Amino acid sequence: MRTPSGDPLVGERYEVEVGPVAHGGGHCVARHEGRVLFVRHALPGERVVAEVTEGTTTSRFLRADAVEVLEPSKDRIAAPCPFSGPGKCGGCDWQHVTPGGQRKLKGQVLTEQLAKLAGLTPAEAGWDGSVEPIGGKLPAGEVPAWRTRVQYTVDPSTDRVGLRKHRSHDVQPIDRCLIAAEGITELGIESRPWPGVAAVEAVAATGSSDRQVILRPVPGAQLPLVELDQPVSISRVDEQDLFHRVHGRTFVRERAAGRTWRVSDGGFWQIHPQAPDILVDAVLDGLDPQWGEMALDLYCGVGLFAGALADRVGEEGAVLGIESGKQAVLDARHNLAALENVRIECDRVESLLPRTGITATDLIVLDPPRSGAGRETVAHLVGLSARRIAYVACDPAALARDLAFFREGGYRPVSLRAFDLFPMTHHFECVAILEPIAG
């Protein structure tokens, strides 16, 4: 790692006017003597005292925390969580913002990324400009307990769990995470010591009573005898990232989209309990699958969208799912074993799709990782002449970039929806529906 040049500015304080929200990290843009500061714990339009947390006299930009608010925004509230604030937990970006203010910030980020990377206005993207609240609008100061998967770090000096501080390996000890789902809180992970353990992941399934705790031991240490406040399955992860059963099942059973889904070894599943149904409904509404059609489900995970598509295209249709995670593929094949019109293949999408020999399809759904699909994959997809494509995205910048690639290939977004599936954080989820450009 290269050592930064110049004299360090960490700890310096500047009084600044806060500008617009920026993409990623929950920070806003400010300037001091011509230099950009990315300031957390601030809001657009505020005047704050910003304390530098990263940067030197030669840095192109500085990172900072708002440590004193001189002129607050009307969207500012007192953070409900005692572990939120400068120098504390890095998990929640916007505990200090009203729920409506959070959605407004997310909408501003998406608007800016669409303009910057795709050259699209909200109207041109088929978006009404709103970020849709989940489960109704919350009053200011109320924190929804939505997160069904929480990764704790163990502080080796105390053997107690905590959460990482922002852009740091340091641990913020906590006695409760306010956004953790009830099933997580009930386990009592924060109330006991974890000697010999480096990290603890807790999973609380939706629609079943399944709970799972995954332990990552300190190298060479012996795992402690684990006694928690609720029945739970326990696994451990070794130094090669291989999973081993300690007690109970190696999976949890999730309920969504009319099915029960096996998700093994802490595998990917949407962490908001309502997210799977909301996203499936948005994809199906946008694609409008018809009996007998052919569909692709790319980056298919444990098969959520493939199963929903298979029900709609029926026995005369077919669905091909592609997923690179071996355990996820095994789970998807298990979950969809009763559907003869579904096939799941294991490989990277960009590697396998060209080898399938498929030259055309009716529908495509893709739910890529945060980095997006990329130019090469998009170029292949537009050559398949799908009548509609559903793009599920967790990163607005990657989505906007890929929408530009799709437009180069002759596809345009006809609708775009944004969902506030990660309250108190800067994250949100989008579903874009694309069609061929007429003429």
Q: Which residues participate in catalysis according to the annotation? A: 394
Residue 239 among known ligand-binding residues: no
For residue 366, give Cα distances in angstroms to 355, 372, 401: 18, 9, 15
For residue 341, give Cα distances in angstroms to 328, 362, 391, 426: 19, 15, 22, 38
Contacting residues for 94 by C-beta, under 8 A, at least 6 apart = 26, 101, 102, 105, 424, 425, 426
Residue 411 among known ligand-binding residues: no
**Phi and psi dihedrals of 285, rounded to 5?**
-60, -40
Q: If DSSP codes are grouped into helix, strand and coil, which group holds residue 93?
A: coil
**Phi and psi dihedrals of 14, rounded to 5?**
-130, 140
Q: Which helix (H) or strand (E) holds 281?
A: helix 275-287
Q: And the tokens for 316?
A: 């005369």
**Phi and psi dihedrals of 416, rounded to 5?**
-145, 130
The CA distance from 115 to 127, in Å, is 13
The CA distance from 256 to 280, in Å, is 9
The CA distance from 362 to 94, in Å, is 41
Torsional class of 93: left (φ above 0), alpha (ψ -120 to 50), beta (otherwise): alpha
Contacting residues for 127 by C-beta, under 8 A, at least 6 apart = 110, 114, 413, 415, 416, 417, 418
Residue 299 among known ligand-binding residues: yes
Q: And the tokens for 345?
A: 């293949």
The CA distance from 170 to 153, in Å, is 9
Residue type, 244: H
Residue 54 among known ligand-binding residues: no
Residue type, 324: S
Which residues line the annotated binding site for S-adenosyl-L-methionine?
270, 299, 323, 367
